[in-house]
Amino acid sequence: MAQLRGVGIGLGVAHGPVARMAAPLPAPDDNPSAIGADEERARVQEALAAVARELEKRGEQAGGAAQEVLEAQAMMAEDPTLTNEVDASLAQGKTAERAVHEAFASFRAQLEAVGGYLGERAADLDDVAQRVIARLQGVAAPGVPDPGHPFVLVAKDLAPADTALLDLDQVLALVTTEGGPTSHTAILAREKGIVAVVGVAGAAELADDETVIVDAAAGAVTTEPSDDELTRAENRANARAAAAGAPITDGALADGTAVPLLANLGNPAGAAEAVALGAEGVGLFRTEFLFLSASSAPTVEQQRASYAELLAAFAGKKVVVRVLDAGADKPLPFLNDAHEENPALGLRGLRALRASEDILREQLTALAEADEQTRKAGSGADLWVMAPMVSTVDEAEYFTAIAREYGIRTAGVMVEVPSSALLAEHIFAHADFASIGTNDLTQYTLAADRLLGSVAGFQDPWHPAVLRLIREVGAAGARTGKPVGICGEAAADPLLAVVLVGLGATSLSMAPTALADVRATLLTYSLDDARRIAEAALAATDAATAREAAHAASDSQKERTQ
Amino acid sequence: MSEITRTVRIGSSHGLHARPAKLFAQAAKDAGIPITIAKDAGAPVNAASILGVISLGVEHGDYVTLTADGEGAEAALDTLSELLTTDHDAA
């Protein structure tokens, strides 16, 4: 056996045969054919027909809407216009590979020129082209594998387009060689509750069909596992499945310290699932969904209906609503019209709302009205409202004052910028609470754009610099008696959740699917343990050693209690 | 037997992409005779070519002209016209 290290997402463990997602093929070289046009034509005909039959076969297996798409792709492979273009290139002495590449590329350009809906067909076309060229070159076709049995998917990283094609019922676990804990793969794994270890550089060497154990709790992939190891993994997976069915209790530490576990939601429609998974309220309700598809802001009436639906779903519980967080990765035409060189550092979050204050006032009006409406109906929740991207004490004062004008009882701010973390005590002079957005706090602390793959390695909330800033906020909250919540991806990492509580977090909010693992982990440590584990992480010099130090401190804790 | 031509209005609410394009190109291929389709006054493309048909970018309500030549041209155009005027995405 050998262990490959990476960053685990959640606590799961799974084992099974590897299926690799092959990287896209490079464009074939434009060398003259060595075998002549007739031979090349025969090769093309064989490859096109084989790919078409393969796609049809997959279509029959898939059925439904997928079958329609796959049959359409099969027709693309044998398209007569395409064949004419290929023949013309072959007649000029090109190789089969190059002729196919050029013919597909020319159709792709036509589809892109038409634009709109047809852009999506361009991706279908690319997939066919890659399959044909792979067949001609005798290599595996790129894209999401489909070995016909459940598998451990090994990829560089997954793009949203890949995961759309992924049959999650067949995926035992995800392993990526790149990407960090906030990569698309990690977010997907958390949302769907899939066992995943990301950033496993050594996974590039894994071969198709080899059996591996993927242990997210340990952040490790075990190759050539022994029977004994496989049995233990199986037992742990079964025990975890049983724990997921365990009664749902309120979030608490082993010593009874309450740590409310809340849900991150982006739409009132997600409320039922969150409640079913034991969310004790909502720690982050993102209001962007109301705005993103609109070219103008939604009306107060539209907003009120959505907020009332949300509040009623959590009657009697805490609901933290974040006012519109536009800018950077979520530009809105009516708020951010100017081009910015550095949108993450630009007019975003509360800055943008302050520049268009009528939108903020309308949102607060709708929230106050929804609050009053649901209270009158007997389905009121405990509404808290917070502002995103607050970077100065003045902004905290501005927002909380304006929120109180509308009768918002509990007004707070998000701490996502180091300046706010360092001045948290002054911010608490105005804000009733703080909620730490760990994704943005990491981005701004490490000066690494969250959306830029080349600096994804910096985006790790375990970084001790980030943890120290969180400690500042936790300590300020304790001194002033103000709650400090966490609502970033970090709260969904069970051991990091323990560390955050040790740093002074009083509630944790996460994707609802992460609740069970975090709940189970919190129950195994006291507040003193959490503080000790946090100290170990704080003393580290980088994210990886902080994670290791916390693991070591938590393991020694477990041994003492056993 | 001479070439026959027919102009029809697209009934599919999503135009002639994806599923309707596939059904149309398949039917044109099955007809076994040369058939072309053109949008408005544009250049005709092989109706049996799904890529050609898709790249016309035909939308709901557009007019297209079908041209067929050969044995059974009349019947083939009847079938294809029927396909184009039906809303396949309504179901």
Fold classification of B4-85 (topology level) = Histidine-containing Protein; Chain: A; (3.30.1340)
State how beta strands A261-265 and A220-223 pair: unpaired
For A182-186, the CB contacts below 8 A with 24+ separation are A182/A439, A182/A442, A182/A450, A182/A456, A182/A459, A182/A489, A183/A157, A183/A456, A184/A157, A184/A158, A184/A159, A184/A160, A185/A155, A185/A157, A185/A158, A186/A7, A186/A9, A186/A489
Asked if residue A151 and residue A123 are part of one domain, the reply reads: no
**Nearest Cβ partner of A80 from B18, B48, B57?**
B48
**Is A52 near chain B, with CB under 8 Å?**
no
Nearest CA in chain B to A112: B55
Asked if residue A514 and residue A392 are part of one domain, the reply reads: yes
Reading the block at residue A106, the tokens are 């020319």
- Residue A176 belongs to what domain range? 2-21+145-244
Asked if residue A525 and residue A432 are part of one domain, the reply reads: yes
Taking CB atoms and an 8 Å cutoff, what residues of chain A touch B48? 80
Asked if residue A299 and residue A334 are part of one domain, the reply reads: yes
**Is B17 near chain A, with CB under 8 Å?**
yes
Please tell me the predicted confidence (pLDDT) of residue A116.
58
Asked if residue A266 and residue A234 are part of one domain, the reply reads: no
CA separation (Å) from A32 to A40, A89, A129, A168, A325? 11, 11, 20, 43, 55
Q: Is residue A249 part of a domain?
A: no
- B54 to A82: CB separation less than 8 angstroms, yes or no: no
- Alpha-carbon dihedral angle through residues A81, A85, A86, A90, given to the nearest 10 degrees: 150
Residue ending a domain, among A212, A244, A276, is A244
Give pLDDT tens digits for A499-543: 999 999 999 999 888 898 899 899 999 999 999 999 999 999 999
Asked if residue A550 and residue A413 are part of one domain, the reply reads: yes
Asked if residue A179 and residue A127 are part of one domain, the reply reads: no
Q: What is the CATH number of the domain that holds A476?
A: 3.20.20.60
Asked if residue A536 and residue A450 are part of one domain, the reply reads: yes
CA separation (Å) from A354 to A175, A292, A302, A335? 43, 19, 22, 10
Give the best residue of B13, B30, B55, B59 to mutate against chain A (max A CB count within 10 A).
B55
Whether A551 is catalytic: no
Reading the block at residue A389, the tokens are 């991207």
| Dihedral sign (CA A287, A291, A296, A298) | negative
Give pLDDT tens digits for A217-241: 888 999 999 999 999 899 888 878 8
Q: What is the CATH number of the domain that holds A217?
A: 3.50.30.10
What are the pLDDT tens digits along chain A (562 aa)? 688 988 888 778 999 999 998 777 888 999 998 998 999 999 999 999 999 998 888 788 767 666 777 888 899 999 999 999 999 999 999 999 999 999 999 888 887 777 655 666 777 788 889 889 999 998 877 777 878 899 999 988 776 556 656 777 889 999 998 877 767 678 778 777 789 999 898 898 899 999 999 999 888 999 999 999 999 899 888 878 877 777 788 999 999 999 999 999 988 888 988 999 899 999 999 998 777 666 677 899 999 999 999 999 999 999 999 999 887 566 666 776 677 788 889 889 999 999 999 999 999 999 999 999 999 999 999 999 999 999 999 999 999 999 999 999 999 999 999 999 999 999 999 999 999 999 999 999 999 987 776 787 788 899 999 999 999 999 999 999 999 999 977 998 889 999 999 999 999 999 888 898 899 899 999 999 999 999 999 999 999 999 999 989 987 766 555 4
Give pLDDT tens digits for A129-180: 988 999 999 887 777 787 889 999 998 877 655 665 677 788 999 999 887 7
- B14 to A75: CB separation less than 8 angstroms, yes or no: no
Cα angle: A375, vertex A380, A386; to 5 degrees: 110
Q: How many CB atoms lie within 10 A of CB A235?
A: 11
Q: Is residue A85 part of a domain?
A: yes
Q: Is residue A256 part of a domain?
A: no
Taking alpha carbons only, the member of B11, B52, B62 closest to residue B28 is B52
At which residue do the structure tokens 């099969």 appear?
Answer: A74
- A82 to B51: CB separation less than 8 angstroms, yes or no: yes
Asked if residue A505 and residue A442 are part of one domain, the reply reads: yes
Give the best residue of A48, A67, A75 to mutate against chain B (max B CB count within 10 A).
A75
Annotated catalytic residues of B are 17
Q: Is residue A531 part of a domain?
A: yes
- B18 to A81: CB separation less than 8 angstroms, yes or no: no
d(CA A186, CA A207): 22
Per the CB < 8 A criterion, the answer to whether B12 and B77 are in contact is no
User: What single letter denotes the amino acid at residue A501?
Assistant: V
Per the CB < 8 A criterion, the answer to whether B73 and B33 are in contact is yes
Q: Is residue A75 part of a domain?
A: yes
Please tell me the predicted confidence (pLDDT) of residue A491.
92
- B46 to A107: CB separation less than 8 angstroms, yes or no: no
d(CA A304, CA A300): 6
Reading the block at residue B85, the tokens are 């005027």
Give domain limits for chain B. 4-85
Taking alpha carbons only, the member of B41, B42, B25 closest to residue B79 is B25
Classify residue A361 by burial, with Cβ atoms within 10 Å: 0-12, 13-18, 19+: middle
Confidence of residue B90 (pLDDT cuts 50, 70, 90): very low
Classify residue A345 by its DSSP letter.
Answer: G
Residue ending a domain, among A80, A104, A137, is A137
* pTM, 2 dp: 0.63
ipTM of this complex: 0.90
Nearest CA in chain B to A66: B19
Contacts with B91 (C-beta within 8 Å, 6 or more apart), sequence order: none
Asked if residue A124 and residue A149 are part of one domain, the reply reads: no
CA separation (Å) from A399 to A38, A112, A287, A309? 74, 45, 16, 25
What are the φ/ψ torsions at residue B5 (nearest 5 degrees)? -130, 145
Asked if residue A372 and residue A472 are part of one domain, the reply reads: yes
Asked if residue A447 and residue A419 are part of one domain, the reply reads: yes
Classify residue A149 by burial, with Cβ atoms within 10 Å: 0-12, 13-18, 19+: exposed
Q: Is residue A271 part of a domain?
A: yes
Q: Is residue A15 part of a domain?
A: yes
| Number of independent structural domains in chain A | 3
Taking CB atoms and an 8 Å cutoff, what residues of chain B touch A107? 51, 55
